[in-house]
Amino acid sequence: QVQLVESGGGLVQAGGSLRLSCAASGSIFSIPDMGWYRQAPGKQRELVATISIGGTTNYAASVKGRFTISRDNAKKTAYLQMVSLKPEDTAVYYCNAKIKTVPVEPSRDYWGQGSQVTVSS
Protein backbone atom coordinates (compact mmCIF):
# COMPACT_ATOMS: atom_id res chain seq x y z
CA GLN A 1 0.00 0.00 0.00
CA VAL A 2 2.63 2.53 1.10
CA GLN A 3 5.57 2.92 -1.27
CA LEU A 4 8.75 4.99 -1.48
CA VAL A 5 10.04 5.54 -5.01
CA GLU A 6 13.52 6.97 -5.56
CA SER A 7 14.96 8.73 -8.58
CA GLY A 8 18.01 10.76 -9.56
CA GLY A 9 20.96 8.40 -9.21
CA GLY A 10 23.70 8.20 -11.80
CA LEU A 11 27.37 8.52 -12.72
CA VAL A 12 29.31 11.74 -12.16
CA GLN A 13 32.93 12.85 -12.00
CA ALA A 14 34.55 13.88 -8.74
CA GLY A 15 33.47 17.41 -7.87
CA GLY A 16 30.12 17.01 -9.60
CA SER A 17 26.57 17.14 -8.26
CA LEU A 18 23.46 14.98 -8.13
CA ARG A 19 20.03 15.34 -6.58
CA LEU A 20 18.11 12.32 -5.30
CA SER A 21 14.34 12.34 -4.82
CA CYS A 22 12.13 10.07 -2.74
CA ALA A 23 8.35 10.22 -3.17
CA ALA A 24 5.97 8.53 -0.74
CA SER A 25 2.56 7.37 -1.88
CA GLY A 26 -0.38 5.35 -0.58
CA SER A 27 -2.59 5.69 2.47
CA ILE A 28 -0.55 8.08 4.64
CA PHE A 29 -1.57 10.11 7.67
CA SER A 30 1.83 11.67 8.41
CA ILE A 31 5.57 11.16 7.89
CA PRO A 32 7.36 12.18 11.12
CA ASP A 33 10.86 11.52 9.74
CA MET A 34 12.56 10.95 6.40
CA GLY A 35 16.18 10.20 5.65
CA TRP A 36 18.84 8.76 3.40
CA TYR A 37 21.21 5.85 4.02
CA ARG A 38 23.95 4.47 1.81
CA GLN A 39 25.85 1.22 1.41
CA ALA A 40 29.14 0.89 -0.45
CA PRO A 41 30.47 -2.48 -1.67
CA GLY A 42 31.89 -4.48 1.22
CA LYS A 43 30.77 -1.93 3.82
CA GLN A 44 27.94 -1.56 6.32
CA ARG A 45 24.94 0.59 5.55
CA GLU A 46 25.34 4.02 7.13
CA LEU A 47 23.08 6.96 7.86
CA VAL A 48 23.66 9.95 5.59
CA ALA A 49 21.04 12.49 6.66
CA THR A 50 17.61 12.79 8.28
CA ILE A 51 14.93 15.46 8.39
CA SER A 52 11.90 15.71 10.66
CA ILE A 53 8.45 16.90 9.65
CA GLY A 54 9.31 20.27 11.21
CA GLY A 55 12.55 20.59 9.24
CA THR A 56 15.15 19.58 11.83
CA THR A 57 18.13 18.01 10.05
CA ASN A 58 20.97 15.69 11.00
CA TYR A 59 24.01 14.77 8.89
CA ALA A 60 26.83 12.28 8.97
CA ALA A 61 30.15 14.04 9.56
CA SER A 62 31.47 12.80 6.22
CA VAL A 63 28.83 14.72 4.24
CA LYS A 64 28.36 17.89 6.31
CA GLY A 65 28.78 20.99 4.18
CA ARG A 66 28.38 19.03 0.93
CA PHE A 67 24.95 17.38 1.13
CA THR A 68 21.61 19.04 1.90
CA ILE A 69 18.46 17.15 2.84
CA SER A 70 15.06 18.78 2.36
CA ARG A 71 11.41 17.79 2.11
CA ASP A 72 8.19 19.00 0.56
CA ASN A 73 5.42 17.90 2.89
CA ALA A 74 2.65 18.69 0.40
CA LYS A 75 4.31 16.39 -2.16
CA LYS A 76 5.34 13.82 0.48
CA THR A 77 8.80 13.94 -1.07
CA ALA A 78 12.33 14.13 0.34
CA TYR A 79 15.41 15.28 -1.53
CA LEU A 80 19.15 14.90 -1.12
CA GLN A 81 21.20 17.55 -2.92
CA MET A 82 24.78 16.32 -3.23
CA VAL A 83 27.60 18.64 -4.32
CA SER A 84 31.40 18.33 -4.38
CA LEU A 85 31.01 14.58 -4.76
CA LYS A 86 33.98 12.36 -3.97
CA PRO A 87 34.79 8.80 -5.08
CA GLU A 88 34.17 7.64 -1.52
CA ASP A 89 30.53 8.76 -1.90
CA THR A 90 30.01 5.90 -4.36
CA ALA A 91 27.27 3.67 -2.94
CA VAL A 92 23.68 2.56 -3.26
CA TYR A 93 21.55 5.23 -1.60
CA TYR A 94 18.32 4.19 0.14
CA CYS A 95 15.46 6.45 1.16
CA ASN A 96 13.92 5.75 4.56
CA ALA A 97 10.71 7.10 6.04
CA LYS A 98 8.84 6.65 9.29
CA ILE A 99 5.18 6.75 8.25
CA LYS A 100 1.92 6.78 10.18
CA THR A 101 -1.05 5.37 8.29
CA VAL A 102 -3.45 5.69 11.25
CA PRO A 103 -3.41 8.71 13.63
CA VAL A 104 -3.20 6.83 16.95
CA GLU A 105 -0.79 4.10 15.85
CA PRO A 106 3.02 4.23 15.95
CA SER A 107 4.93 5.00 12.78
CA ARG A 108 6.55 2.21 10.76
CA ASP A 109 9.75 2.13 8.69
CA TYR A 110 9.56 2.05 4.90
CA TRP A 111 12.42 1.85 2.40
CA GLY A 112 12.95 2.93 -1.18
CA GLN A 113 14.32 0.60 -3.82
CA GLY A 114 17.85 2.02 -3.78
CA SER A 115 19.66 4.33 -6.20
CA GLN A 116 23.19 3.75 -7.50
CA VAL A 117 25.47 6.77 -7.20
CA THR A 118 28.88 6.36 -8.80
CA VAL A 119 31.58 9.04 -8.55
CA SER A 120 34.58 8.57 -10.81
CA SER A 121 38.06 10.00 -10.23
Tens of pLDDT along the chain (121 residues) come to: 899 999 999 999 999 999 999 999 999 999 999 999 999 999 999 999 999 999 999 999 999 999 999 999 999 999 999 999 999 999 999 999 999 999 999 999 999 999 999 999 9
Q: How many C-beta atoms surround the C-beta of residue 59 within 10 A?
A: 18
Residues 9 and 116: beta-carbon distance below 8 Å? yes
Which residues, in sequence order, are CB contacts of 56 under 8 Å at separation 6+?
Answer: none
- Rounded CA gap, 92 and 42, in Å? 12
- Rounded CA gap, 3 and 16, in Å? 30
CA-wise closest residue to 77 among 100, 101, 93, 53: 53
Residues 83 and 103: beta-carbon distance below 8 Å? no
